[in-house]
Amino acid sequence: MTLADVVFGLLGVVCLGSAVLVVTTRNVIHAALWLVVCFGALAGCYLVLTAEFVAWVQVLIYIGAIVVLMLFGAMLTRAPIGRQQELDSGNRPVAALAGAATGGVLFVLVVAAFKGAYVDVHNAAVGDGKVIGTAVFRFFVLPFELASVLLLAALVGAVVLTRRDSNRIDAGR
């Protein structure tokens, strides 16, 4: 039990607790804010695992962009700000069963499969910006370019989907 184990365990408890609150709270805005806590704890986990650049990308993209986008979406769809009973659907017991089964099977499987595996975080090469930049632009150039094309396509698709005059059927009624 080293210091890395203790720090990772505490961050994991914060992450799991806030993740449970994300899927159980009755307010969409509160769920988005708990998502910030969960992603922040996960960024700390990445730092413990020596993935420095991924941790900062997590903070910048996930917390800074994706959660803010979801807050915008919640407000544009006029989500009730107060408590809301009907946020959960009727299949909650079945969903709890499916979630517990998936999580339980995966947990038992991976913990049994990698029981003695040990990550030497002190002698690992820290994944800072220089190392990851070299890896991405030397070995993963083609996936990187494909990702940029995918982002452009998603951007154009989102603009086309949300344009008002693209819903001609609705306007003709």
Partner 1 sequence: MHLSLALGLSALLFGIGVYGLLARRNAIAVLMAVELMLNAGNLDLVAFDAWWRDHLHSGQSFALFVVVIAAAEVGVGLAIVLSVFRLRETVAVDALTDLADRDPVVHAGADDVTVAP
List the interface residues with partner 1, window 139-158 (CB under 8 A). 139-140, 143-144, 147, 150-151, 153-155, 157-158
Q: 5-18 b/e with 16+ CB inside 10 Å = b? A: eeebeebeebbeeb
Distance CA 76, CA 28 (A): 12
Measured from the CB atom, the residue of 82 and 117 that comes closer to partner 1 is 117
Instruction: Report in angstroms how near the CB of residue 80 gets to partner 1 at its nearest.
Output: 10
* C-alpha to C-alpha distances, 151 to 15, 56, 166, nearest whole angstrom: 28, 20, 21
Site membership for partner 1, residue 129 (CB under 8 A): no
Distance CA 160, CA 56 (A): 31
The only residue of 81, 110, 129, 130 in contact with partner 1, by rule CB under 8 A: 110
Site membership for partner 1, residue 99 (CB under 8 A): yes
- The C-alpha angle 12, 101, 16, rounded to 5 degrees, equals 15
Packing angle of the helix pair 67-76, 28-48 (nearest 10 deg): 170
Site membership for partner 1, residue 22 (CB under 8 A): yes
Site membership for partner 1, residue 81 (CB under 8 A): no
Count of residues that bind partner 1 according to CB under 8 A? 94
Instruction: Report in angstroms how near the CB of residue 55 gets to partner 1 at its nearest.
Output: 9
39-58: contacts with partner 1 (CB under 8 A): 39, 42, 45-46, 48-51, 53-54, 57-58
Best CA proximity match to 26, nearest among 81, 85, 80, 79: 85
Instruction: Report in angstroms how near the CB of residue 104 gets to partner 1 at its nearest.
Output: 7
